[in-house]
Chain A
Amino acid sequence: MEKDEEFDHATAKLDSDEEGDELAQDWSQMAKVTVSQNVIPKRGEKDFEPDGTNVQELMLFRAKKAMFDSLSGAIRGSVVKNLVKAYYVPEKHMAVVPHPKGTFMHTMGRVDSSGCCWLEVYEFVYLAERGTVTPYWQNSGREDDEFDVPLSVEDTYSLFKSQSELDEFFVYAHLKRLGFIVSSINQNVPHWSSYLEVSSITGEQRVYRYFTSLFRLIPTIPHFSIYDPYHFYFRRYTSSGQIYRSLNLLIPSYSAPRTVQELCNENADSYQETTDLKAWKISFNVWKPRTNFRKKSPGLPDFQIVVYNKNESGSSFPTYPEIRNIFQRLNYQFDFLTDGNMNDVQVANKIPQLNNEYKITKKEDESPRTKENKKNCKTYPPHIQQLRRLKKGYRSFVLAVMDDGLISFVRLSESDFGSENVWYEPNAFTKKSSKSQRPKRRPKKRSEKTPE
């Protein structure tokens, strides 16, 4: 199955749940940077039981020492001249930096008209922990420095008012340390503003939608259905596809919106149905690390994060209606809208122009992620595209699960098996290839596999 290997290659970058995915820290490399010393060989397979020698203990000792040395040997401290003072303001539950300077300003905080930079508490604690700002407690009414109370890191942690604030901080700090650009969701940003030119829906459309939704309520069952015991005495099927088609009318399924129009329609519909549903807070917008990020016009984020503490009583993993509710409130860079591969229409238009279906198409736009676009722009044969759609899903969000300070991330995407048919049609491929005159390829010999 050559094609599948190709597909595997294309999706190799996707996340998986394999053990090997953990990116372990190798402290021996770190030690090399800080203090010059002998390099410890990378640790190999573990021995399962003591073998009477001290080889294992020696290796463990060396690894520990590397870790210790790299931490103890490094010179730490900050330059007094560069110290930035930040004050926690209890009334606002925020922190203010009166004389802001430093690179953190590119991605964090909000500057008001007087030139002060306002930080959220999690930003404040994060920066204090890193030593970028020196944390103080602001005495109300006083502006002179002498009476300000300096805070320890421990003190700053006590500023969080609830477990969920603390959890958000952990997630924030974790992602920041990995280099992501993280900001809280500005609730004022209108949905779909970036995709939609005409966002208002005309009355005519509304009536139309009303009627179609009415029809949707009535189950679409033919009067003389395949499930009738006498059905097969009257009806003849001449292909397996026909049988499948009459079978798959039975179970209705949620279909994922794939275009801007469908997204809009769904959003307009949804506001009526969500009544007593727990509306999960979408906590953060996350951008991949980039240099040309601007706070004023950040563009749409790459991911959106919902934080969930698994040990908190009264909260449980989101149910399906709750997940759908989150989907409807998402507003990030949907790659199924921009990615040519995900959109059938675009691809269908492209294919005839190409004499080779594996050719890479060029895109005109010079967005910061052109490189990535180019990678994605490879056009694949339809069945691979279908598999990509199924494996990638449509709208998605990242659920950060907190478990006693441990964070694990889960990506939940909406998938749509109800709109894809995968039955095998023996003649489908040959018919197509004879119509569009593609260079003939030698039929591949199907290798006899013995899958589990």
Chain B
Amino acid sequence: MSKYLSNSKRYKYPLPIHPLDNLPQLLPHNPVSWLYWLYCYISSTNLLAKKIDIEVTNGHRITVPGEEDMLYLWNNGFFGTARLSRSEPTWKARTLARLGIDESFNALEKVTEKRRHQRLAFKKERRKFEAIRLDLRKKGVLESEILDKERQFLRELRDQELILDSEDYQVREEDDELLLNDGIVNLEVLELMPVEAIFLTFALPVLRPSVAEIAELLLGPKPTYTEIHNLITQYVAYHHYRSHGWCVRSGIKFGCEYLLYKRGPPFQHAEFAVMVLDYKDTPDYTWYSGIARVIGGAKKSLILCYVEPLLQKEEIMSLWDQKDFEQVFASHRVGEILYRRWVPGKNRD
């Protein structure tokens, strides 16, 4: 399907609006180059040639159906989550590989599957050994001897590199329905978080509908203040981190609001997990500690991001009704608290 493209080339741009980086060189002593540069500057634009279409499914879910659009949003800022893949829209490529039509592809999902197989094989081996151990125990063999045997078993297991030749082509009956003349039907769509959809319309002109339309899609025609407030709180936090260069993705798998990646998921693990709160929120301590345990287990730092409205409720409502989203978002302030467990034994010297 595609030639190998290095990550730094493929994910060259951190945002879907590209900067003009192909302007000709400006030579100070050559006026012609000035003119040419000026011509290039004026004639080119940061805007996309064609804005991306969206679809709304299941009421409030905003999805991008276009195959190229999905990839474009993923490659330029890692927006959205593909419905049939882990995050990156790879379903089609994987299916092509599975059906033996195009084998050049090696998706992350495949790696995960391989690891799962390995783990399963390990468990099988371990179960076998546990039976042996029980047998030994019943015979009254000393614990230390059993421990030695266990070590030996583990060593052996490590040595015999588990090479799994999983079947690459698995054709199922229903695959016939997928096939087209040349290739297969694309079933996958890319789902955008509400805040991503707002960012891609309000902050950057990428999606076709306007912000007001997106807001109405998300909240309905007559939203209450609480609904508006919740959405604003989420968006303000999202915009704050995005605009300072973080790649912000949903943190649902770690029970938090957002994960902050530097550059993006293929480059580094997420360093921070963000929990967005209203500035007056005080959930029970168990809530904090539960989240902190999950985040800590994944070796990330937990950030409590507090959003404080600077205007009164009525003012925000009237700004929202006037569709002055810029003012609405600008009248919220963000403050951050780093939440970390303190272990006395580790802080003594």
Identify the A interface with B (CB < 8 A): 1, 4, 13-19, 21, 23, 41, 44, 51-53, 55, 174-175, 178-180, 219, 221, 225-227, 229, 232-233, 235-240, 242-244, 247-248, 250-254, 288-289, 302-303, 308, 310, 316-321, 323-324, 372, 387, 390-393, 396, 398, 401, 403, 408-418, 420-424, 426, 446, 448-452
In the complex, which of the residues A17, A317, A426 contacts B284, with contact meaning CB atoms closer than 8 Å?
A317
B346 to A13, Cβ gap below 8 A?
Answer: yes
Q: Give, as a whole number of angstroms, the nearest-CB distance from A6 to chain B.
A: 14
| Chain B positions 300 through 319: 1 when the CB is less than 8 Å from some CB of chain A, otherwise 0 | 01110010101000000000
A320-B308 contact given A236-B46, A251-B333, A422-B245, CB 8 Å threshold: yes
Give A247's nearest chain B residue, CB to CB: B243
A288-B348 contact given A21-B343, A417-B303, CB 8 Å threshold: yes
Q: How far is the CA of A449 from the CA of B270 in the complex (A)?
A: 13
Q: How far is the CA of A41 from the CA of B143 in the complex (A)?
A: 10
Residues of B within 8 A of A178 (CB): 344-345, 348
A17 to B337, Cβ gap below 8 A?
Answer: no
Indicate if B341 sits at the interface (CB-CB under 8 A). yes
Indicate if B282 sits at the interface (CB-CB under 8 A). yes
A448-B7 contact given A227-B325, A317-B288, A410-B340, CB 8 Å threshold: yes
Given contacts A317-B283, A413-B337, 14 further A-B pairs with CB under 8 A are A174-B344, A232-B46, A237-B17, A237-B46, A243-B46, A252-B333, A317-B288, A319-B279, A319-B282, A372-B349, A391-B301, A411-B339, A412-B337, A451-B268
Residues of B within 8 A of A421 (CB): 244-245
B348 to A251, Cβ gap below 8 A?
Answer: no
Q: Give, as a whole number of angstroms, the nearest-CB distance from B99 to chain A.
A: 24
Q: How far is the CA of A421 from the CA of B242 in the complex (A)?
A: 10
| Among B47, B297, B337: residue with most chain A CB under 10 A | B337
A288-B47 contact given A251-B243, A408-B341, CB 8 Å threshold: no
Interface residues on B, range: 35 or more
Give B293's nearest chain A residue, CB to CB: A17
Q: How far is the CA of A411 from the CA of B284 in the complex (A)?
A: 17
Q: How far is the CA of A242 from the CA of B283 in the complex (A)?
A: 39
A4 to B337, Cβ gap below 8 A?
Answer: no
A416-B336 contact given A319-B279, A409-B344, CB 8 Å threshold: yes
Within 8 A of A (CB), among B182-207: 202-205
Q: How far is the CA of A411 from the CA of B346 in the complex (A)?
A: 13
B205 to A229, Cβ gap below 8 A?
Answer: yes
Q: List 19 interface pairs A-B (beta carbons < 8 Å), by A numbering.
A: A17-B297, A17-B341, A23-B345, A23-B346, A219-B331, A237-B46, A244-B245, A247-B243, A250-B330, A319-B282, A321-B279, A390-B271, A396-B338, A409-B344, A413-B338, A415-B336, A417-B244, A418-B240, A418-B334
Residues of A within 8 A of B279 (CB): 319-321
Give A416's nearest chain B residue, CB to CB: B336
| Among A1, A44, A180, A237: residue with most chain B CB under 10 A | A237
A44 to B46, Cβ gap below 8 A?
Answer: no
Q: How far is the CA of A179 from the CA of B267 in the complex (A)?
A: 43
Q: Give, as a whole number of angstroms, the nearest-CB distance from B81 to chain A.
A: 13
Give A245's nearest chain B residue, CB to CB: B243
| Chain B positions 230 through 257: 1 when the CB is less than 8 Å from some CB of chain A, otherwise 0 | 0000001001111111100000000000
Q: How far is the CA of A180 from the CA of B308 in the complex (A)?
A: 37
Indicate if B70 sits at the interface (CB-CB under 8 A). no
Q: How far is the CA of A319 from the CA of B308 in the complex (A)?
A: 11
Indicate if B170 sits at the interface (CB-CB under 8 A). no
**Number of cross-chain contacts by CB at 8 Å:** 266
Instruction: Please tell me which stretch of B19-27, B59-67, B218-226 contacts chain A, meaning at least 4 of its Cβ atoms lie within 8 angstroms of it.
Output: B19-27
Q: How far is the CA of A19 from the CA of B303 in the complex (A)?
A: 19
In the complex, which of the residues A411, A420, A426 contacts B341, with contact meaning CB atoms closer than 8 Å?
A411
Residues of B within 8 A of A55 (CB): 137, 143
Indicate if B295 sits at the interface (CB-CB under 8 A). yes
Give A391's nearest chain B residue, CB to CB: B301
Give A402's nearest chain B residue, CB to CB: B285
In the complex, which of the residues A52, A417, A424 contacts B336, with contact meaning CB atoms closer than 8 Å?
A417
Q: How far is the CA of A239 from the CA of B23 in the complex (A)?
A: 11
Residues of B within 8 A of A17 (CB): 292-293, 295-297, 302, 340-341
Q: How far is the CA of A244 from the CA of B204 in the complex (A)?
A: 11
Indicate if B94 sits at the interface (CB-CB under 8 A). no
In the complex, which of the residues A219, A232, A450 contacts B47, with contact meaning CB atoms closer than 8 Å?
A232
Residues of A within 8 A of B100 (CB): none
Indicate if B269 sits at the interface (CB-CB under 8 A). yes
B265 to A420, Cβ gap below 8 A?
Answer: no
In the complex, which of the residues B236, B241, B330 contacts A417, with contact meaning CB atoms closer than 8 Å?
B241
Indicate if B8 sits at the interface (CB-CB under 8 A). yes
Q: How far is the CA of A241 from the CA of B346 in the complex (A)?
A: 40
Residues of A within 8 A of B203 (CB): 226-227, 247, 250
Q: How far is the CA of A391 from the CA of B281 in the complex (A)?
A: 23
Q: How far is the CA of A236 from the CA of B336 in the complex (A)?
A: 33
Closest 10 CB pairs of A and B: A17-B296, A423-B245, A248-B243, A247-B243, A409-B342, A254-B335, A320-B306, A316-B282, A422-B245, A411-B342
